[in-house]
Structure 1
Amino acid sequence: MGIADLLAGVSGRGDFGVWLGGLDGHAVFTHDADRAHYSASTMKLPVAMAMMRKVEAAELALDQPVTVHNDFASAADGRFGVNSAEDEAPATWAKLGEQVPLGWLATEMITKSSNLATDLVLELTGVDAANAVLAEYGSGASVIRRGIDDVGAQAAKISNLMSPADLAAVLVAVGNDKSASGEYVRDLLAGNTWNGEIPAGVPEGTRVEHKNGWDLRIRHDGGIVRPPDAEPFVLVVCTTSDLADQDAQKLIAAIAAEAWDHRHDLEAVQ
């Protein structure tokens, strides 16, 4: 069963987007790849990249202390805090009121997908800097406008959006970045501990540099897969649907398995 067949099996259940190709940026399979979805935690990758740009410019330092707090300026008006009940990364919350290194927060943001750590990093980088990274590589359909759990901004319909094609373009940029910053971000992605999507569809132990995201009706994953016996490939799958969350994860894993099976001849994917 090819990727097109897998997508046909969920036709009418929601919006599904796929981008598959090489680190040269050439797509071999796409399906609604330009349609933007709510980004969920996939926006944390451009945030990490914006942070590293500021580290390179000596505006930030990975070892600088940051006081962990839960009070942020809204993109709409007023202040907001992250909902701890919806943040599945408890280590950051255990540090409330304490100082931790910026690099530690970045690790929590990517490897644990901590929402609180994300907003702390984003507060230092600035939304504009994170959005500029996405805009540089993307089509303009994807944007970062606010932090996680900014309920005032949500009410004002200020949202973060991501298309499969734009996330793929960001991943291609990361995959081709030969600098120390590029290596740092790739290692963060490879350390992701939430591995129920793309990594579940490839052999255990395969290096997958990926960032996923999930919310109500949302399940996304995008990453660079590095087979030991073939060239790396980039896969992004975004789903906004009425599928049960486990079924959405299984769909992404099945698409990854198809890509893996064609890793020696990616152009043959159907």
Structure 2
Amino acid sequence: MGIAELLHAVDGSGEFGVWLGGLDGKPVFEHRSDRTHYSASTMKLPVAIALQRKVAAGELTLDQPVTVHNDFASEAGGRFGVDPAEDEAPATWSRMGTDVPLGWLTAEMITLSSNLATDLVLERVGIAAAHAVLAEYGDGRSAIRRGIDDRAAQAAGISNEMSPAGLAGVLVAVGNQEDAYLRDLLAANQWNGEIPARLPAGTRVEHKNGWDVRIRHDGGVVRPPDADPFVLVVCTTSDLPDARAQQLIAEIALVAWEHRHDLGAIR
């Protein structure tokens, strides 16, 4: 079964988008890749790139101390905090009130998808800098406009959006970096229920996923040992059970893997 057939099987259940191509940035298969979804945690990758840029510019350092706190400025005015019940990465919470290195927070943000760590990093980097990454590499539709759990901003219609093509552009940029820092963080992702799930054990997948109510996304660079790397992004906003949405992404990734020697043959 091809990717088109997999998508046809869930037609009518929601919005599904796919971008598949090489590290040259050229797609070989697209399905509604320009439609944006709520980004969920996929926005954490542009935040990490913005941090990387500020480190390179000498504005920040990975070893500088950051006091862990849970009080942030809302983009709608006022203050907000991250909901601990919706953060599945407990290590950052265990450091509350203590100083930790900015680089440690970045690793928590990418490898464990910590929401609290994300807002702490974003506070240092700035929303404008994170959005600028998407403006440069994305498709012009994706955007970072607020921190994680900024409910007041969400209620005011201030949202983070990501299209498959937008995330693919960011992944292509990271995948071509000579510096392996971000690529290694992505490869160390501990949440592997989507793109890596059905690939051969040990396959290097540099990916960032995201999930929320009705949301399940994953995007990454897959590096087969016997073929050129490829980039795959699947975004889903649907009424599918979450496990089924994960399965769909894993099945699409398996089709891509099976065609890794000739991606252009995928239909």
- State the shift of 1:201 in Å: 2.5
Question: Could you state the TM-score of these two structures normalised by the residue count of structure 1?
Answer: 0.98
AA aligned opposite 1:193: Q
Q: After the TM superposition, which parts of structure 1 deviate over 4 Å for at least 4 consecutive aligned residues?
A: none
1:220 maps to which residue? 217
* 1:102 maps onto 2:102 in alignment: yes
User: Structure 1: how far apart are the matches of 2:204 and 2:46?
Assistant: 20
- State the shift of 1:177 in Å: 1.5
Asked if the contact 1:201–1:255 (Cα under 8 Å) also holds between the matched residues in 2, the reply is: no
User: Structure 2: how far apart are the matches of 1:90 and 1:166?
Assistant: 30
Asked if the contact 2:139–2:169 (Cα under 8 Å) also holds between the matched residues in 1, the reply is: no
Q: CA RMSD, aligned part only?
A: 0.5
* 1:243 maps onto 2:240 in alignment: yes
User: Structure 2: how far apart are the matches of 1:212 and 1:102?
Assistant: 21
1:202 maps to which residue? 199
- State the shift of 1:140 in Å: 1.4
Asked if the contact 2:256–2:263 (Cα under 8 Å) also holds between the matched residues in 1, the reply is: yes
* Equivalent runs, 1:115-194 vs 2, <5 Å: 115-178=115-178, 180=179, 183-194=180-191
Percent identity over the alignment? 75
User: Structure 2: how far apart are the matches of 1:2 and 1:201?
Assistant: 15
User: Structure 2: how far apart are the matches of 1:8 and 1:23?
Assistant: 27
Q: Secondary structure at the match of 1:198?
A: coil
Question: Could you state the TM-score of these two structures normalised by the residue count of structure 2?
Answer: 0.99
Structure 1: which 5+ residue stretches go unaligned? none
AA aligned opposite 2:64: Q
User: Structure 2: how far apart are the matches of 1:207 and 1:139?
Assistant: 26
User: Structure 1: how far apart are the matches of 2:201 and 2:112?
Assistant: 19
Asked if the contact 2:143–2:160 (Cα under 8 Å) also holds between the matched residues in 1, the reply is: yes
User: Structure 1: how far apart are the matches of 2:87 and 2:195?
Assistant: 22
- State the shift of 1:249 in Å: 0.1
* 1:35 maps onto 2:35 in alignment: yes
Structure 2: which 5+ residue stretches go unaligned? none
User: Structure 2: how far apart are the matches of 1:26 and 1:135?
Assistant: 18
1:25 maps to which residue? 25
